[in-house]
Amino acid sequence: MRDPAKAQNPQVDPRHCRYRLRIAQSRIHRWGVYAEEFIPKRHKVIEYTGEKISRRETKRRAGGDLNYLFTLDGYWTIDGAVGGSGAEFINHSCDPNCHAVIVRGHILYVALRDIEPGEELTVDYRFEPDVPTVRCICGMQRCRGTINLPKQTKARPRAQERAAGCT
Ligand SMILES: [Zn+2]
């Protein structure tokens, strides 16, 4: 179960991040994670931690309107609502400054470009086109309108699989 105290005042777990980060209210959605210092491009920012759950359990937990599920592979999912590092509060953007890289079963968020202090961290959630559509309100010029990927880009290699850029 999610700790209600943590839900009221979420914190980043410093054991899982390389840079000073802060959770604050976001213009995008509820809470967001902000850089408190300069983060250079291609550097690891934070690990997305949580309970490792099966496909069946994922289906059960995905029912609510708010969840922190991150697909690790075809079978496992990480549920950031249980033992999350704070990375679960990083919002989606269609033009993000971080991306997820999966290394030996760990989900690492890596800076896609230099990030200045005070900037909100974002990743592209890349929801599959065949799951229920979630409207995007990221406000970026390149916003595609939904958090889901459009159908035709499904065959493209996922950002997570391009691990070479990880420092
Ligand atoms: Zn968007």
Whether 163 and 103 have beta carbons less than 8 Å apart is answered as yes
> CA–CA separation, 113 vs 111, rounded Å?
5
Mean pLDDT of 65-93: 92
Distance 143 CA to ligand 1 centre (A): 4
pLDDT above 50 for 1: no
pTM, two decimals, is 0.83
Mean pLDDT of 23-27: 89
What pLDDT shows up at residue 84?
Answer: 96
Q: pLDDT tens-digit profile of 100-112?
A: 999 999 999 999 9
Enter the DSSP assignment of 63.
T
Structure tokens belonging to residue 72: 């690790």
Distance 11 CA to ligand 1 centre (A): 25
Distance 76 CA to ligand 1 centre (A): 26
- Tell me how far CA of residue 92 lies from CA of 54, 80, 97, 125, in angstroms: 24, 15, 10, 6
